[in-house]
Structure 1
Amino acid sequence: MSGYKASPGMSAAAARNGLTITWDGDKNQEIRLRLAIDNGTPTIRELSVRHKGRSWGALASNVTPEFSFVSGIRRIDRETREGLEENGIKEITPKVYEKYKWDPFWDAPLNIPGTEDMRQTLGLPRKPEEVKRGTATYRAKSCDVKTDGTRLAVTFPGVSMGIFSGQLQYTLYKGTNLIRQELIATTEAPSIAYKYNAGLKGLAIRDSSRLTWHDLANHIQVYQFGGHKNDKETPLKTSNRLLIAEGGSAGSIATFPPPHNFFWARESAQVLGYNWYRKDSDTSFSFGVRQAENEEEPRIKGNFALYSARPGTSQHMAVYFYVSADPAPATRTAVMAFTHDDHFKPLPGYQVMTHHYHMRFGLRLLAEAGPDAEIEDLRALKSVGINIVSPVDNVGTGGGAGNRPAADTLRMIAASVEGARRHSDKDFLVMADQEFYGSVLGGHTDLLFSHPVFWTYGRTAGQPLVEDDPKYGKVYHIGAADDLMEMVKREDIMMSMPHPRTKNNAGYPDGFKDKEFFKDAHFQGVGFRWGMGLDLSERRLCEYRCLALQDDLLNWYADDPTPPKYLLGISEVQRQTFGDGIYSSAPVNYLKMNALPNPNDPSPVIKTLMRGEYFVTSGEVLIPSYSLQGTGNKRTIVADVEWTFPLDFVEVVWGDGQQTDRQIISTTDLPAFGKHHFQIPFDTTGKKWVRFAAWDSAGNGALVQPVKLTLTGASSAGAR
């Protein structure tokens, strides 16, 4: 226990028969965890909780951690190959394959054999022997106990799980009843894509024992273990990814996954059953969290990419438990507070925006009943706290747009524009935006409009760039990059690249980084979306793809007299409805705007985005204010940050045009559900840009937009 440091409210004591940890939780509760090793297996000898001053109630005795995995082989999807071919990479050599295989969207490694009608994945059919399965086994002889601020980690080495090996870790947090159980494991196998299930095994069934959850209609469901025993895990489609085991007067235990990095990107947010239970006998049961092995909707069976496990990286396979002396309803309330009830918390002076949502808005309005048709997706999005929705209709050469006559494209745009106006409200703005498939710039390009603009893809020889249409007025004909940029500049359109370095944007924006159109200020930046290559060794959401790219972008253009390129949180989901996993599936953008604009004039939204006056977040970490203060080389980064899960660190990242560096400031001394005013001295000498972000212990986070540095400037430069 050399790494252990005693502190008020968190104590650990080792004895011959195990380790006992006692800590202060929330709501005046106290938790006691006794850990031991039985024949090499880490065992929770006792997990008890009480209201301070009252008797202990045992929620679990002699239970063990349960982990299992299923893996397949990672492949490159066809969209990735198409993007690479546009960039002149015609041959998928082993070197190219190794570089680009880890960030897929259209891959489904467990779909055996796979068929060409999935069309998005190369190298089919898959072979049954590609799929590996395994359950964790333990050969621990001791454990390591380490204090880190207000948290305590207990680590057991000697874990094997098929192709993975590593250690089991429990992390406990003073001031909250939260327990994180995780398998931290590596594999040396190449091209591994995998999923995992996790939980606790051997909980006692008593007369008062029962499981409770909310179904997808938000109705309370109860199981009292009256049925026969189960041979395998029973999946549950629960609301909010949450399952609670009640133990009578002793209290209750909730189990749930990390709210965001548990989920790889999909075209659907349909809940596939993220909790499980198993009645092992008449006297014991097990429960936890899970992922499905395949998508349910036949149309998108090829879109289920799993996690990527690069060889040698430490994969963090986590499950959370929340223990309470209270019954299930109070425990549910306490757990839901970590995600603001799966709701994006309102912040004064901010509006919450989702972008790049594939709801086929214009086409649905045309097909159903015109602009007044009910679109329940919009009501579902509003119900989780989103009040600006930027759907993207498909235009260009793909996504069903390639065979669309020009007249139909104009009808679709008109329907989107009028539909956006009619479905907006005083507290809810719908925009009529587009994704240009097969963009004349290369890859895909998102177009966000300050006002309605009518245009068609294709320009014949001698055809004017702009023609007057008796119905739609001014109509642009776009056949080349110069045409698009002329329209963008005339009409003040904002451009952004969705899903960079993956899908059809594989190889982009790298492939056109020297082009003037990408340097143009109207090309505001790129999309931020975790899960298109989700690797559980990442400490930050979309660390390997999005954040690395942003730092590249900032260094590429560090000396250019143009604004920095920004990250814009995007979705990739198609239709959504109530009961879907809307909150967990995508980031949002908090725009610094006191009020929503009139539906007839969304230009204030575009101006706010172009100025970078917003932050991107998963929802649990918020940055209500941020500024780079001072003049000259001696500056101060000032930020107000609030969070729910215990905060892990904040970071200041900078570059000199060639290299990127960072200062990581640990926040493990701060409690869960906290707020902090950060003042960080920052010397700008030799630095050309800076950005700030905050990340919590559950993989959630928030980031503000970067600032280019100068030796002179207002003290409020970079204010958000």
Structure 2
Amino acid sequence: MRIFLKSLSKYHRQLLCTFSVILLTLSVRSQNSEILVDLSNYSGSNGIQISIEDKLLHVTWETDNTTNYTSFRLEKNSGGKERRPQLPLIKSIGTTNKSIATEIFNDLQPEYALFLGERDLDKRKDSWQIFFDYPYQRSYSVQKALLDMESATVSSHGNRTTISFNGLKAGEFEGALNFTIYAGSSLLHMEAVISTEQNGRAFLYHAGLSNLSGQIKNVCWQNGVDEFIRQPSNKEFATPKKTRFRTIIAESDNGSLAVFSSPHRFLPPLDGVGNYGFNWSGQNYLDFFNGYGIGVRQPIFGDRRQVPWLNAEPGSIQKLGLFLYISDRKAENTLTQIKKFTHNDRFVDIPGYKKFTSHYHVEHSLDYLKKQKEQQTTGIPKGLENPDFVQFFKKMGIDIVHLGEFHNGATPRLKTEKRMQQLQIMHQECERLSTNDFLLLPGEEPNVQLGGHWMSFFPKPVNWVLNRSDDKPFVENTKEYGKVYHVGSKEDILKLFKKENGLIWVAHGRIKGSTGYPDNYKNEAFFTSDRYLGAAWKNMPANLSEDTMGSRILNLLDDMSNWNAKKYALGEVDVFDIRNDYELYGAMNVNYLKLDELPKFKDGWKPVLDVLSEGNFIVSTGEILLKKYSVGGQECGTTLKLKKDKKVELKAALDWTFPLKHIDIVTGDGKNIYHQKIKLNDTKAFGSKEFKINIDLKDRTWVRFEVWDIATNGTYTQPIWIEN
């Protein structure tokens, strides 16, 4: 195959690119119709070269090790009497060396299938902020996306170029199929960019590439117990694959092609983190896709608890993405390269910080008591000597885990003796399972007295009962357990947390059991107290039209800042059982606490709570590392006293894996919220840079900072408070 631009001299390539911009639009004619290709916003100056020849759109671009190419067909498949079956969109994909193309795969068909369900909009007033909904239990349809190409657009933005094929339809959804190429990287970002005008739509999507039958030799992946699987292609019907790294790879004689999802954005929010099979491979997937294929999938039934699917509000532009990775190497090498984007699904160290994660209902304490009874022992039950969840956290590089034990309806009603039995086991087990380099810390989601759901966190083991009666003292000293607190009101709770220097924050604010909170109690004494930390961030509900994740809590953080409440929002995970073969990384985030040393369990962990209450921490999904950050020389959670000149310098030292998308500098004045977004289209994969940005903080009362990448991985800071 001839790669047209590659064969031209540098002078002629530049001349052709200039001519293309002047021409604005090229017409590629077929027998019955023409495909208009708009090149008015294309520039080859980023090294991504586009040419059009013989009803093919060719793309070539250099990476660190090779030159990649992809050729797309420009043919309209409908029209008049000569309507033909759809030809595969991707004519060829491979690498080039000295102008000689080595084809890895040809005639590949991008595929999408949408599961279209109904959102129950009557469940709550702000009906799209919903988790307890069950579209899979109601009637839903499955619609295959079809590209009836109408036109194409090529646009360049910094070091990336996007090719849009217009005319994609799936049920009532319409839009375009996009491919974005990133200079210097073997990544190809495939996205169905579509919208619907129908109200109350919830959906999921499955996607990938089909028509590999004559070329694929093996399909490869790493399974849940970290074994590398190489399976010869066969004629078996396609099935879900439980993979690590959410990646499936097709091998041919000349190389490999991987399909993988965004690490976090792709996984809909669930209570469970089981590996439900987020990839697929095989013949005729869903009876929709032709021949052998590979791809990604969002499980319809999830953990069979609350499975809310994704929101698609009318008119919102949904971006249904996946990534392709082209390689002339075998699948093992390709997977090694892909794993680098998530640091092998591990949260890496930042000097001067410790990694803290919160809100886990693993129910280890209740499991421990149950197994003790079953095994008739007073010692450590067999099977719990080194629990899976502890092993998993250590493998992921976590330093500190904050639990959410006893998350069941019986806990608030427990009598003192039963309650103490459970607390003693939690405290003992946290101490036993903590080491010099790992802290497992007791915590609960008590959900009593205050309204909504909330998390509790003390700097040492504390004994407390949740149902104080009128004749029970607030605190009593017992022979067996020492000091025991009894709480029966919001006043009791505030008094306890002041005495024991604990922290409270709303769990999953404004959704689930915290719908309406903390807004409904923002003037209460416990909320305005310094014992109330704020909120906790998680991507819930999921909305693929947004260029961030978890806007529910980011908006709440901004609102609280405008209330002058001086609250913060740590990251929470809010999941249940964890086993070694589960998909935990995709559901996780981490809090980088400004903490030099890890406390010893026996000494208490007050330094952890101090850093949280001071707001000196950064939340990240793991792919973007904010190694240093200041505004006017001040760190997160501190107060910046502005001088006469209201302009200050923001400094942010960043490392990243996926190319970055944008910075958002968020400020408020007590009434309004302002966003200063800076596009980062010039960044490439695996970069590092210290950004220095002058910002005007006149009349502002706080400022915070976010960064997001092309896979919608992100990091954000806590507010810095401003005195004008």
User: Aligned residue for 2:337?
Assistant: 334
2:131 aligned to which of 91, 99, 105? 105
> Contact 2:412 / 2:467 at 8 angstroms: preserved in 1?
no
User: Aligned residue for 2:578?
Assistant: 576
User: Aligned residue for 1:475?
Assistant: 484
1:246 pairs with 2:251: yes
> Contact 1:62 / 1:202 at 8 angstroms: preserved in 2?
yes
Please say which of residues 694-703 and 265-274 is displaced more in the overlay: 265-274
- Indicate the SS of the match to 1:678: strand
1:203 pairs with 2:216: no
After superposition, give the CA deviation of every residue in 1:34-93 in whole Å (9 maximum; x if it has no partner). 1123334685444433364484221222222110111222237xxxxxxxxxxxxxxxxx
1:499 pairs with 2:511: no
> Contact 2:505 / 2:532 at 8 angstroms: preserved in 1?
yes
1:215 aligned to which of 223, 247, 262? 223
Q: How far apart are residue 404 of structure 1 and its match?
A: 2.6
Separation in 2 of the partners of 1:163 and 1:99? 26
- Indicate the SS of the match to 2:258: strand
Note the residue ranges of structure 2 that are not aligned, 5 or more in a row.
1-38, 78-85, 373-377, 634-641
Q: How far apart are residue 98 of structure 1 and its match?
A: 6.2
Q: How far apart are residue 516 of structure 1 and its match?
A: 2.2
Q: How does 1:546-695 map to 2 (within 5 A)?
A: 546-557=553-564, 564-600=566-602, 601-629=604-632, 631-632=642-643, 633-695=646-708
> Contact 1:42 / 1:140 at 8 angstroms: preserved in 2?
no
2:433 aligned to which of 419, 423, 428? 423
- The structure-2 alpha-carbon separation of the partners of 1:101 and 1:8, relative to structure 1 and needing over 3 Å to count, comes to closer
- The structure-2 alpha-carbon separation of the partners of 1:526 and 1:108, relative to structure 1 and needing over 3 Å to count, comes to same
Q: How does 1:326-475 map to 2 (within 5 A)?
A: 326-369=329-372, 372=380, 373-374=384-385, 375-394=387-406, 398-437=408-447, 439-475=448-484
Separation in 1 of the partners of 2:87 and 2:322? 16
- The structure-2 alpha-carbon separation of the partners of 1:51 and 1:605, relative to structure 1 and needing over 3 Å to count, comes to farther
User: Aligned residue for 2:544?
Assistant: 536
TM-score w.r.t. the length of structure 2 is 0.87
Separation in 2 of the partners of 1:388 and 1:428? 6
After superposition, give the CA deviation of every residue in 1:153-210 in whole Å (9 maximum; x if it has no partner). 001111110121111100110111001111111112222111101111212424x711
User: Aligned residue for 1:18?
Assistant: 56
Separation in 2 of the partners of 1:42 and 1:275? 25
Q: How far apart are residue 378 of structure 1 and its match?
A: 1.0
Q: How far apart are residue 106 of structure 1 and its match?
A: 2.8
**Alignment size in residue pairs:** 655
Please say which of residues 259-268 and 31-40 is displaced more in the overlay: 31-40
Separation in 2 of the partners of 1:625 and 1:329? 35
Separation in 2 of the partners of 1:155 and 1:143? 5
> Contact 1:353 / 1:591 at 8 angstroms: preserved in 2?
yes
1:174 pairs with 2:183: yes
User: Aligned residue for 2:24?
Assistant: none
Separation in 2 of the partners of 1:163 and 1:70? 12
> Contact 1:42 / 1:156 at 8 angstroms: preserved in 2?
no
- Indicate the SS of the match to 2:245: helix
> Contact 2:249 / 2:294 at 8 angstroms: preserved in 1?
no
Separation in 1 of the partners of 2:308 and 2:51? 44
Separation in 1 of the partners of 2:576 and 2:660? 32
Q: Which amino acid aligns with 1:241?
A: R
User: Aligned residue for 1:225?
Assistant: 233
1:709 pairs with 2:722: yes
> Contact 2:92 / 2:108 at 8 angstroms: preserved in 1?
no
Separation in 1 of the partners of 2:579 and 2:379? 19
> Contact 1:568 / 1:616 at 8 angstroms: preserved in 2?
yes
Q: How does 1:60-209 map to 2 (within 5 A)?
A: 60-75=105-120, 97=123, 99-111=125-137, 126=138, 130-206=139-215, 209=217
Q: How far apart are residue 459 of structure 1 and its match?
A: 1.9
1:520 pairs with 2:529: yes
> Contact 1:107 / 1:302 at 8 angstroms: preserved in 2?
no
1:7 pairs with 2:45: yes
TM-score w.r.t. the length of structure 1 is 0.88
Q: How far apart are residue 689 of structure 1 and its match?
A: 0.6
* Identity over aligned pairs, percent: 31
Separation in 1 of the partners of 2:723 and 2:712? 33
- Indicate the SS of the match to 1:240: coil
Please say which of residues 283-292 and 374-383 is displaced more in the overlay: 283-292
Q: How far apart are residue 14 of structure 1 and its match?
A: 2.6
> Contact 2:503 / 2:531 at 8 angstroms: preserved in 1?
yes
Q: How far apart are residue 406 of structure 1 and its match?
A: 2.4
Q: How far apart are residue 498 of structure 1 and its match?
A: 1.0
Separation in 2 of the partners of 1:33 and 1:613? 46
> Contact 1:365 / 1:419 at 8 angstroms: preserved in 2?
no
Q: Which amino acid aligns with 1:466?
A: V
> Contact 2:46 / 2:159 at 8 angstroms: preserved in 1?
no
Q: Which amino acid aligns with 1:554?
A: S
Q: How far apart are residue 241 of structure 1 and its match?
A: 1.1
- Indicate the SS of the match to 1:547: helix
Separation in 2 of the partners of 1:192 and 1:277? 28
Separation in 2 of the partners of 1:349 and 1:153? 39
> Contact 2:509 / 2:517 at 8 angstroms: preserved in 1?
yes
User: Aligned residue for 1:277?
Assistant: 281
Q: Which amino acid aligns with 1:263?
A: L
Note the residue ranges of structure 1 that are not aligned, 5 or more in a row.
77-93, 112-125, 712-720
> Contact 2:71 / 2:92 at 8 angstroms: preserved in 1?
yes
Please say which of residues 443-452 and 365-374 is displaced more in the overlay: 365-374
- The structure-2 alpha-carbon separation of the partners of 1:314 and 1:400, relative to structure 1 and needing over 3 Å to count, comes to farther
> Contact 2:413 / 2:466 at 8 angstroms: preserved in 1?
no
Q: Which amino acid aligns with 1:694?
A: V
Q: How far apart are residue 371 of structure 1 and its match?
A: 7.6
Q: How far apart are residue 319 of structure 1 and its match?
A: 1.2
User: Aligned residue for 2:328?
Assistant: 325
Please say which of residues 137-146 and 34-43 is displaced more in the overlay: 34-43
Separation in 1 of the partners of 2:319 and 2:600? 46
> Contact 1:37 / 1:43 at 8 angstroms: preserved in 2?
no
Say what the alpha-carbon RMSD is for the aligned residues: 2.0
Q: Which amino acid aligns with 2:392?
A: A
User: Aligned residue for 1:714?
Assistant: none
- The structure-2 alpha-carbon separation of the partners of 1:568 and 1:8, relative to structure 1 and needing over 3 Å to count, comes to closer
Please say which of residues 372-381 and 594-603 is displaced more in the overlay: 372-381
Q: How far apart are residue 493 of structure 1 and its match?
A: 0.3
- For CA contacts below 8 A with separation 6 or more, give which structure has more relative contact order: 1
Q: How far apart are residue 141 of structure 1 and its match?
A: 2.5
> Contact 1:277 / 1:288 at 8 angstroms: preserved in 2?
yes
After superposition, give the CA deviation of every residue in 1:482-531 in whole Å (9 maximum; x if it has no partner). 1000011111001111100111100111111122211111111101011x
Q: Which amino acid aligns with 2:265?
A: N
- The structure-2 alpha-carbon separation of the partners of 1:617 and 1:468, relative to structure 1 and needing over 3 Å to count, comes to same
> Contact 1:42 / 1:138 at 8 angstroms: preserved in 2?
no
- Indicate the SS of the match to 2:169: strand
1:266 pairs with 2:270: yes
- The structure-2 alpha-carbon separation of the partners of 1:471 and 1:54, relative to structure 1 and needing over 3 Å to count, comes to farther
Q: How far apart are residue 676 of structure 1 and its match?
A: 1.2
> Contact 2:95 / 2:104 at 8 angstroms: preserved in 1?
no
- Indicate the SS of the match to 2:405: strand
